[in-house]
Chain A
């Protein structure tokens, strides 16, 4: 299994530009999560999907952020327009449904975003 795949691994863009981050979850996983990690705020859950449907987006910081999951094998996180404070590492994770409350998430390698 290739694990969770994210692209690009690094992204440098100028303020005001649109940024699109991509994620391919592990095949068969029903849940997909987007996280953001910064030194100041740690690892924050932005949004998660179940069977391609967004369930909770309360962690999305602003309307500039949007996420989609058009099918079971692909999701995007878009920032438009981007701002310097969006600079962070963005992780995608996927998981199976909890089984007898046993549960673990599988994280991708992350996308390091720098907005200048």
Chain B
């Protein structure tokens, strides 16, 4: 089981780019890297997913180095509404019972 390590919390200011790094040293060949966002009193929401190199969507970018032992979620120009907990998950999509959300990173965006 490829567990992940993320910073417990991060602070940022509106308009800044935020990078949250996740360590997953034991990632397996078939594992994908997925990031979820959770606002207070809501369920987690899928943000982005990748296997290697770089993935970008309308919300974020995901950078994965060649060894895949870490990944970085990049949020461009954050706003107050991006204050949330961000979870990094690593797992084989065909083994759901191995999904491990961990503690996540609490991002606090200040005005």
User: Interface extent on A, as a size class?
Assistant: 20 to 34
Pairwise interchain contact A107-B96, C-beta atoms closer than 8 A: no
User: What's the minimum C-beta distance from A21 to chain B, rounded to whole angstroms?
Assistant: 13
Per the bound structure, the CA–CA distance linking A42 and B93 in Å amounts to 21
* Contact residues in A for B44 (Cβ distance below 8 Å): 43, 91, 105, 107
Pairwise interchain contact A43-B101, C-beta atoms closer than 8 A: yes
Pairwise interchain contact A42-B97, C-beta atoms closer than 8 A: no
Pairwise interchain contact B101-A101, C-beta atoms closer than 8 A: no
- Could you tell me which residues of chain B, from 35 to 62, have a CB within 8 Å of some CB in chain A? 41-46, 49, 51
Interface of A is mostly: strand
* Contact residues in B for A105 (Cβ distance below 8 Å): 44, 46
Q: How many residues of chain B get a CB closer than 8 Å to chain A's CBs?
A: 21
Judge if B34 is at the interface, Cβ distance under 8 Å. Answer: yes
Per-position binary interface string of chain B over residues 69-102, scored 1 when its CB falls under 8 Å from any chain A CB and 0 otherwise: 0000000000000000001000001101101011
Judge if A45 is at the interface, Cβ distance under 8 Å. Answer: yes
Per the bound structure, the CA–CA distance linking A101 and B103 in Å amounts to 24
Residues in B lying within 8 Å of A, measured CB to CB:
30, 32, 34, 41-46, 49, 51, 87, 93-94, 96-97, 99, 101-104
Residues in A lying within 8 Å of B, measured CB to CB:
4, 31, 33, 42-45, 48, 55-56, 58-59, 91, 93, 98, 101-110
